[in-house]
Chain A
Amino acid sequence: MSVADAAIAGPLLLTVKLALLTTFLLLVIALPSAWWLAHSRHRLKPLVQAVIALPIVLPPTVLGFYLMILLGPRGAIGGFWVEFTGETLTFSFAGLVIASCVYSLPFAVQPLQAAFAQAGRRELEAARTLGAGPLDAFFSVALPLAAPGFVTAAVLSFAHTLGEFGVVLMVGGNIPGETRVVSIAIFDHVEAMNYRAAHELAGILLVFAFVVLAAMFTVNRRWGFR
């Protein structure tokens, strides 16, 4: 692989790896949270919802700033990580994954929550009267009915992670192979007046994002039961 190819492929591979891992972790986290949000009438629910929605509203630099402090060697999470693994979280791939999860959390939780809330309560009751226990009803009725929400959550988390910039800059910096994702690399190329490389990366990202979103909307239309 030539140096020029590595300059393109390196950040791309790192970005895809980060986005895939983040999406997977987010779906695991979002599933129970979205279920709780869709069915709970707890008085703290609005506060939880507000916290989850914060990344939509806050400038990424604000989020990144707090995450940098939290994940730093003297921060609550970062300090614990250093003690546990001997490595720092900031300016590392692991730190980037955690930051991405926080940054994209609402994009995983909200579609799932909407799907659980809208598809199901009535059908779930029917399932219970037909002999399905709570878990059985969840897997045989609630989950399949929420399938379109799952696809949306996964695609949005993935796409949103692809596009993150400010948070990465604050938490991860620009370390090739570790934290140098596509958006950072593009910024770098533009700064260096290397428009050709910037064009290539930006073009790839543009086409990729369009294809993924188009595929999602197609799949969801086909799964639209109602």
Chain B
Amino acid sequence: MAGQRTLFDKVWDEHVVHTPAKGLPLLYIDLHLVHEVTSPQAFDGLRSAGRPVRQPHRTVATVDHNIPTEPRGTPILDPIAALQIQALQKNCKEFGVPLFDMDSASQGIVHVIGPELGLTQPGMTIVCGDSHTSTHGALGSLAFGIGTSEVEHVLATQCLPQRKPKSMLINVSGRLGEGVTAKDLALGIIGQIGTDGATGHVIEYAGPAVRALSMEGRMTLCNMSIEAGARAGMIAPDETTFAYVKGRRFAPQDGEWQKAVEKWRSLTTDRGARYDKTVEIDGSKLAPFVTWGTNPGMVVPVDAAVPEMSDLATDADRRAAERMFEYMGLQPGTPIEEIAVDRVFIGSCTNSRLEDLRAAARVAKGYRVDPKVRAMVVPGSQAVKREAEQEGLHKIFQEAGFEWRESGCSMCLGMNPDILQPGERCASTSNRNFEGRQGRGGRTHLVSPMMAAAAAIAGHFTDIRDWKFL
């Protein structure tokens, strides 16, 4: 019905600066996050056009993508990576953009530190030259990834001309079972709707299973919206959200806080508002998932097997699967629990927050990593690392034989030295199992932090629902 609006409509409408008669609506951007890999060409563009950064105080930069996760202070051996980091330092200085640099106590993966510092708030528009910007939608903001030309556009104008995406409701009923996490929910959704199931849409996640997620779980879910092709993922803010934001460094303080919360309470979808598309998921039917192929839609429950050719619907699916089987070194019909792993990566903007590390540590406690497996834990930020260490999680990991490293994107995309060797198989808590993503010839299986920790110990995938916690 007219007049009744979705959460997405409300945040969108609030930020439209101007709608030209011919052309696209101009959307105001509240917060622009910047990192070293997708920004140098944008700053160059500003320089050559003689343009300043319009709103340096709405712009925050950090280094995350290509930095080593060796102890800080270790020289960066890759000269091109070092140059890219220096370029960001120089650009931030020249244009007055605040930077959480290598040595900052607030450095971390851009999508971890945004919420953690309270920069990310309900109702905001947030962009970053990174597709996983969808993460921030967990707090009820409209957050999406952009390319470098658009980074330059936002730096110069604090606006983006945008066609309004369509809306999609994903309603998750029921309750997630024991051992089934936000990551499994995300993988289950992508498995159902496909990697282009939400292209052109902004997803709103709703329903009891979503409401029951912690703030960090919601970030994991929204993070993977892009893997279903979505422009963004959002969750209406509620008490969980407000409790999370309160008291953070950039959160509204004192008298401002109550006013902000009152405003944020209006950020819910009106009863009767319409979505362009609706998907129903029964949360109670989901299992811990493992991907078997080379896109995140190729998922099966851990207690199932890699599909048989005859399970696949079309010729195109079978052709694609053949490539995937070959690349992944898998036979059709192999039970997932029989697949041995060489490496385990716990980290990335999907699953590197404190709760993720707690969950993985709970599994690892009292066990040893299989001697054939090399396992690493990469906290999402320096703050996560400090908090985890205060709780003694690093000791649990180290005693079990996991490497405990410095914060960054690390082996999620392998731009730094943390990469797979050709043929190595990895249980990874990251978001993409594309060919070569973690290193040329590397074989990635996406799982939750608990499933990754269990695979490290067992030496193969194993059903976390049967785990004996010590």
| A and B form one complex | no
Residues of A within 8 A of B (CB): none
